[in-house]
Amino acid sequence: MRLLLADIKFIILFPLLNTCFLIANGQAKTNIGSIEYDSLKDDRNFKICHFYEQSLPQYYEVGTVYEGGLKSIKKHFSEKFIPDNSDSTLNGYLTIRFVVNCEGQTGWYRFLETTLEYNYYEFNPVFKLKLLAITKTLDQWKPGLYNNKPCDSYKFLTFKILKGNIADILP
Partner 1 sequence: MNKVVLLLFLFSLAFNSVKAQTATKNSDNCRLAERLYRLEEDSTRQGSPQSQALLDSAIKLCPGYSVPYMEKSVAFNKTGDFFNGFLWLNKAVEMDPLTHMGYRGWIKLRKLRDFKGAEKDLKEFDQLSPNDAQYAWGEHIYYLLGECKLGMQDFDSALYYYKKYIQLAAADRGESYIEVYAFVYAGIAGFQKKQYSNASIYFDKALNYYGNCAEAFYYKALILFYTGREKEARIYMYKAKENFEAGYYHRDKYNEYLYQLYLSDITESIRLISEKDFR
Smallest distance from partner 1 to CB 85, Å: 26
Instruction: Count Cβ neighbours within 10 Å for each residue of 70-84 and write b for 16 or more, e otherwise.
Output: eeebeebbeeeeeee
Smallest distance from partner 1 to CB 147, Å: 18
8 binds partner 1 (CB under 8 A): yes
**DSSP classification of residue 30:** S
17 binds partner 1 (CB under 8 A): yes
| Residue 103: strand pairing partners | none
- Region binding partner 1 by CB under 8 A among candidate stretches 79-87, 100-108, 132-140, 155-163: 155-163
Smallest distance from partner 1 to CB 110, Å: 9
145 binds partner 1 (CB under 8 A): no
- Region binding partner 1 by CB under 8 A among candidate stretches 40-48, 65-73, 124-132, 135-143: 65-73
58 binds partner 1 (CB under 8 A): yes
54 binds partner 1 (CB under 8 A): yes
Smallest distance from partner 1 to CB 18, Å: 9
| Residue 162: strand pairing partners | 165
Contacts of 94 by beta carbon, 8 Å cutoff, 6+ apart: 111, 112, 113, 123, 128, 131, 158, 159, 161
Distance of CA 79 to the CA centre of its chain: 23
Pick from 166, 101, 109, 115: which is nearest to 136 by CA?
A: 109
Please tell me the distance from the alpha carbon of residue 139 to that of residue 106, in angstroms, as a whole number: 8
50, 52, 112, 163: which one binds partner 1 (CB under 8 A): 112
Smallest distance from partner 1 to CB 109, Å: 12
- Between 72 and 86, whose beta carbon lies closer to partner 1? 72
